[in-house]
Structure formats: C-alpha cells, structure tokens
Structure 1
Amino acid sequence: MTTTTSTSKPGTVDAAAKASIGAAARELHLPTVRTEATRLAEIADRERHTHLGYLAEVLAAEVDDRTERRRTRRINDAKFPRLKRLAEFNIDAVPGIAPATLGHLAAGHYMDAGEPIVLLGDSGTGKSHLLIGLGLAACEQGRRVRYVTTAQLVNELVEAADERVLSRVVARYGRLDLLCLDELGYVQIDPRGAELLFQIITEREERASVAIATNLPFSEWGTVFPDPRLVAAIVDRVTFNAHIIETGTKSYRLRTSKTTTRTKRAT
C-alpha cells in the first residue's frame, strides 16, 4: 500500500490562504479583514495566540475600523463649516455658563427627549463654537446631525418648493437627531421663507432636537419673521422644555485671546 504525502510548501499554502481570505473579504465587504489579516496572523503566530484569539483580533479590527468610518461619515454629512469641540471652549471667558451645564448637554440626553437648545448672545460670544461642539458630540455618539445657517436652510426650502420636492426635503430634516441652526437673526426672512422654516420646526417639535444660535432676544424675533402670529408660534415651539444658554454681550474671541496672552506671559 502506497502512502501519498502532500508536497505543498508552506509558502504556497499561505499564498492560497491569503488569496482565499481576500476573495471572501471582498465578497463579505470586510476591507479591514482583507488588509489586516496577514499582519495580525504574524502577531498571533509570534505571541502564540489560539485560532479563536486570532479570529477575535481580526473581527475586532474590522469593527473598530467600521466604527471610525461611520463616525467620519456622520461628521462629513453634518457639513460643519469647521470642527469645534466643547472641550476646546474656554469656559472662563464666559462665566455665565456653568461647566456642569455643558457637561450635561454633551451627554446628549436632551436629544432622547427631543428638547431644544437655544444659544443667545451677541456676535462673537461663542455661540457657533458651542453649536458646532454640541453637534460634533452628537455625531460621535452615533447621532444623525446637520449644521446649517438659517439663511441657507430657507434658501434650500424655497428651491425645494419651487422644484416640488419640499415634502422630501422636510422629511429628510425630520429624520435628523439634531438640527443645528446657526445665525438666526442676521438676515430678515420673507413670509414664504418663514412659513417653510416653520414647517421644519413643526416637523421636529417634541420629537427631535433643534439647537439654535441667535444674536436676538426672543422679544426681537419679530424683526426676522414678518408675521407676529408666526413669530409667537416659532418661539413657543423652540422654547418649550428648552435649554437656554446666554453667552452674553462681550466678545468670546477677544476674551479668549486676552486669556491666552496672559497665560503665555505667565509661563
């Protein structure tokens, strides 16, 4: 009786295994497994991991990479004009804001309850920084976020109405976990635009959060929206169960610059 011995060399077997892993990873849409399998196999061999240990490492790498890709995609989809984190906000420059308040909002529980946030203050007092920081924190928690200025949103809604796709656009904004609406009060809105914006706010009422940054106190919103009844309805919706933060009247950028200068001199 003749015994047949395999003549395959280890290198040949490994090459075939790599090709098989690559093909399977492409079929299953696992790009990190495809690129990291060999490197992690070398580590597993060197550190004498079990087969299950190696498999766990490969899958963990895929999960981590996929999580990071989703985080990056959410941030890109939010369309922030720049990235500003809450941790970078100089709380000492705005003494009227309690650190505990920002910490509470950063946790994101207000979104679970569909509660609004209103940031009130003069130009340059840090409203946009806080608005973007809250939006970025929400993205990193896996939330769907969109940043837009009030003028941009109104223009988008008017164009959608003209093209008869308004319901689709309103529904898209309605699916967001957080709508960050900046610069309310800088541009006067005509009656049609005001009514369209009201649709967005109504779509989200008590269901999904909107965070608004404005340079006007509520009593002056009538200078932005021409219809007094519409103003009252909008204010009612964005202040119900709202977190209202006043950033004051003194320039945040100027105070932050002075604080930084003093710190540099001290060191």
Structure 2
Amino acid sequence: MSDTPQLLLSHHLKALKLPTFLREYDKLARQCASEGVDHSRYLLRLCELELIDRERRMVERRIKAARFPAVKSIDSFDFKAIPSLNKMLVLELARCEYVNRNENVIAVGNSGTGKTHVALALGLAACQKGLSVGFTTASALVHELIEARDEKRLLRLQKQLAKYRLLIIDELGYVPLSPTGAELLFEAFSQRYERGSTIVTSNLPFDEWTSVFGSERLTGALLDRLTHHVHILELNGESYRLRQAGKVASPPKDAEPD
C-alpha cells in the first residue's frame, strides 16, 4: 500500500502529459529538502523544468516539420570568409521581426558562398521563436506542385504552403523551369504575398531570372511581389566549399632546408 501514492502520481502525471514532472519530482524533492526550500519554491522549480523541456521539444518538432536538410546556426557561419555579406542585417533578421511583418529575404551570390547556410540559420531562428517553417528547393517544389496538380490535390498543397509563417525556397536558378512549373511556382509565391514571409536563395542576379521562368512578364510580376517588402543579402566571392576542400586536399609543404 505504501507504493500507491507514487503509482497514482505517476499515472496522473502521464495523463496530464507532464513527463519532466514525472522524471524529476522525486530527485528535486530530495534536493530541495536538503537545501531547506519550501514547497512553493519546489513546485516553482518543477514548473520551470517542465516549461524549459516542453519548449525544447516544441522546437525539435518544428525543426523536424521544416524538413531542413541540415541544422545550421548563425554562430557557425564564417562571416569573415564572405565580407560582402551584411552581418548586422543577418543578425537583425535572426530576431524574426521581418516574419511578423510578412517581409521577404533574397540571398543572391555565387555557388558555395553560404546562401543555404544563412537560409537554414534563419529558419532555425524562426523555429526557436515559435514560428512554423518549411524548407524546399525550387526544383523539388515545382516537381511536388506538378505532381499534386496531376493527382487533383493541388489546392491542398497550396493551402499547406500558404500556412507556413516562413517558407524557404533554396537554389532558384539552378534548373530552368517548364512553362507549367514556372506558372505553378509563381502562384505559390503570389499566394504568400503580404500573408507570409519567404526566403529565396539564388545563384543568379535578378536580371537573369527570366532564363529560369522563361517569360519576362512572369518574371517581372514575380519580382514585383517578392521585392515589395524585401531584405537582400549579397554573398559574393570565392566558393567557401571549394576553399575548404582545397585546404583539406592540399598536402603540407616540405620544410625549407636550413
């Protein structure tokens, strides 16, 4: 019978979905008793542990739902390697106030300069701020849109894309789009106009986007919407990936003779 209260407490904490309470209450009770902490402060500590753990789990779920190819942070970006990038603007964007204003971000630069890293870092920051995030490449999104249209579920996918507070579309410009793909991607952008934030990365300057969409009219209309409320990040310079690969591949020079 002496175990009944513990069994009931365990049952109730599971039913209330308080796993941190369940895991920590006994150990914390002994610790508080040894420190002479009263019951109110003991409960306060338990609540704080539960809230911290719950927020961590929610962030993990948002990161998983975003389908990032990798988790990157701003702290791990080498700003010195890309001096053209406005570091202060990136740090400001990491506060995610632009998302609350439904503004966009376009990162433009050569391949390998860190555009995807910056986009992923801003996506991670948004997840940590409690915002819903989606990540995809332009070619993958177009393929998904065409497939959804063919399977009569395009409207459902469009609604799903529109619900993201932040949608990241990576690698726009690497693959030319078919007329159908260009129109579907344009529609996806249009449905988010002033309703949600979009981050786009591209290896092409704006005046070359027509080569991707195949239509000056469509490209002009897209840029008009994307750049109405936009923050532009320029990442110009030598490929960071190639430079790092060169460091790994190059053997050390032989020591000079005395």
Same fold (TM over 0.5): yes
Shift of 1:106: 1.0
Q: How far apart in 2 are the matches of 1:97 and 1:108?
A: 18
User: Quick check: 1:115–1:208 contact (8 Å CA) kept in 2?
Assistant: yes
Q: How far apart in 2 are the matches of 1:100 and 1:245?
A: 11
Q: How far apart in 2 are the matches of 1:258 and 1:187?
A: 27
Provide the TM-score with structure 2 as the length reference. 0.91
Q: How far apart in 2 are the matches of 1:253 and 1:83?
A: 17
The superposition leaves residues 153-189 of structure 1 with CA deviations (integer Å, 9 ceiling, x where unpaired) of: 1111111111211111111111111111101001111
Shift of 1:230: 1.0
Q: How far apart in 1 are the matches of 2:245 and 2:125?
A: 25
Q: How far apart in 2 are the matches of 1:162 and 1:155?
A: 11
Matched position secondary structure for 1:120: strand
Q: Which has the larger radius of gyration?
A: 1
Shift of 1:239: 1.2
Identity %: 39
> What RMSD, in angstroms, separates the aligned Cα atoms of the two structures?
1.9
2:106 aligned partner: 118
1:208 aligned partner: 196
Tell whether 2:20 aligns with 1:32: yes
Q: Which runs of 5+ in 2 are unaligned?
A: 249-258
Shift of 1:227: 2.5
Shift of 1:219: 0.9
Deviates more, 1:178-187 or 1:32-41: 32-41
Match of residue 23, structure 1, among 2, 6, 11: 11
2:252 aligned partner: none
User: Quick check: 1:93–1:256 contact (8 Å CA) kept in 2?
Assistant: no
Match of residue 61, structure 1, among 38, 44, 49: 49
Match of residue 205, structure 2, among 199, 217, 223: 217
Match of residue 75, structure 1, among 44, 47, 63: 63
Q: How far apart in 2 are the matches of 1:82 and 1:161?
A: 29
Q: How far apart in 2 are the matches of 1:96 and 1:255?
A: 17
Provide the TM-score with structure 1 as the length reference. 0.88
Tell whether 2:84 aligns with 1:106: no
Q: How far apart in 2 are the matches of 1:60 and 1:205?
A: 39
Tell whether 2:216 aligns with 1:228: yes
Shift of 1:36: 1.6
Matched position secondary structure for 1:231: helix
Q: How far apart in 2 are the matches of 1:20 and 1:56?
A: 22
The superposition leaves residues 38-57 of structure 1 with CA deviations (integer Å, 9 ceiling, x where unpaired) of: 11111122222212122112
2:228 aligned partner: 240
Alignment size in residue pairs:
249
Q: How far apart in 2 are the matches of 1:89 and 1:60?
A: 32
2:170 aligned partner: 182
Q: Which runs of 5+ in 1 are unaligned?
A: 1-7, 261-267
Tell whether 2:136 aligns with 1:148: yes
Matched position secondary structure for 2:213: coil
Shift of 1:143: 1.0
Q: State the AA in 1 paired with 2:104.
A: P
Moved over 4 A (4+): 254-260
Q: How far apart in 1 are the matches of 2:68 and 2:212?
A: 24
